Amino acid sequence: MRVGIVGCGKIADGHAEQLRAIGRAQLVAACDREPLMAEQFSQRWGGLAQYADMAEMVLAERLDVVHVATPPDSHVALACSALEMGCHVFVEKPFAMDGAGARRIIDCANAVGRKVGVNYLYNFETPALELGRLLADGDLGEVVHVETCYGYNLAGDYGIAVMSDPAHWVHRLPGKLFHNVIDHVLAKVVPMLAEPVVVWADARRMRPASGDAVVDAMPDELKLLLRDRDGRTVSVMVGSHARPIGHAMKVYGTRDTVELDYAARTLVRSARQDQPSAVGRLFPAWVQAWRFARCGMRNLGAFGRHEFHYFQCMRVLLDRFYDAIEGRGDDPVPQAEILRVAAIIDGIVDALAPRP
User: pLDDT tens digits, residue range 276-286?
Assistant: 777 778 888 99
CA–CA dist 27, 4 (Å, integer):
6
CA–CA dist 190, 139 (Å, integer):
19
On average, the pLDDT of the chain sits at 95
Cβ 284 vs Cβ 270: under 8 Å: no
Percent of the chain with pLDDT over 70: 99
CA–CA dist 218, 179 (Å, integer):
11
CATH of domain 123-316+340-352: 3.30.360.10
pLDDT at 333 over 90: yes
C-alpha 197: how far from chain center: 20
pLDDT at 274 over 80: no
Alpha helices in 62-211 (DSSP H): 75-84, 99-112, 126-137, 157-164, 176-189
Q: CB count, 10 Å around CB of 141?
A: 13
CA–CA dist 67, 89 (Å, integer):
6
Between vectors from CA 161 to CA 13 and to CA 89, what angle results, nearest 5°?
Answer: 35
Give residue 82's pLDDT band: very low, low, confident or very high (50, 70, 90): very high
Cβ 189 vs Cβ 234: under 8 Å: yes
CA–CA dist 205, 211 (Å, integer):
13
Q: Using alpha carbons only, how large is the chain's radius of gyration in Å?
A: 21
Tens-place pLDDT, residues 144-191? 999 999 999 999 888 999 999 999 999 999 999 999 999 999 999 999
- Mean pLDDT to the nearest integer, 307-321: 96
DSSP letters spanning 135-159:
HHHTTT-SEEEEEEEEE--TTSHHH
Cβ 83 vs Cβ 35: under 8 Å: no
How far is residue 261 from each of residues 68, 86, 107, 149, measured CA to CA in Å? 29, 40, 35, 10
Give residue 356's pLDDT band: very low, low, confident or very high (50, 70, 90): low
Residue among 296, 321, 259 at smallest CA distance from 124: 321
Phi, psi of 174 (to 5 degrees): -55, -40
- Mean pLDDT to the nearest integer, 223-243: 97
Give residue 5's pLDDT band: very low, low, confident or very high (50, 70, 90): very high
- Mean pLDDT to the nearest integer, 328-334: 97
CA–CA dist 166, 280 (Å, integer):
56
Tell me the residue type at 168.
H
Domain ranges in the chain are 2-118, 123-316+340-352
pLDDT at 122 over 70: yes
C-alpha 195: how far from chain center: 20
Cβ 22 vs Cβ 317: under 8 Å: no
Tens-place pLDDT, residues 18-40? 999 999 999 999 999 999 999 99
Answer yes or no: CATH 3.40.50.1970 is held by domain 2-118: no
What is the pTM for the complete model shown? 0.95
Tens-place pLDDT, residues 39-76? 999 999 998 999 999 999 999 999 999 999 999 999 99
Per-residue burial over 50-65, b if 16 or more Cβ lie within 10 Å, else e, is: bbeebeebbeebebbb
Q: Could you say which DSSP state residue 341 is in?
A: H
3-state DSSP assignment of residue 55: helix
Between vectors from CA 122 to CA 343 and to CA 27, what angle results, nearest 5°?
Answer: 100
CA–CA dist 170, 177 (Å, integer):
6
pLDDT at 293 over 90: yes
- Mean pLDDT to the nearest integer, 241-246: 94
Alpha helices in the chain (DSSP H): 10-22, 35-44, 54-61, 75-84, 99-112, 126-137, 157-164, 176-189, 213-216, 277-280, 283-304, 312-325, 335-352
Give residue 7's pLDDT band: very low, low, confident or very high (50, 70, 90): very high
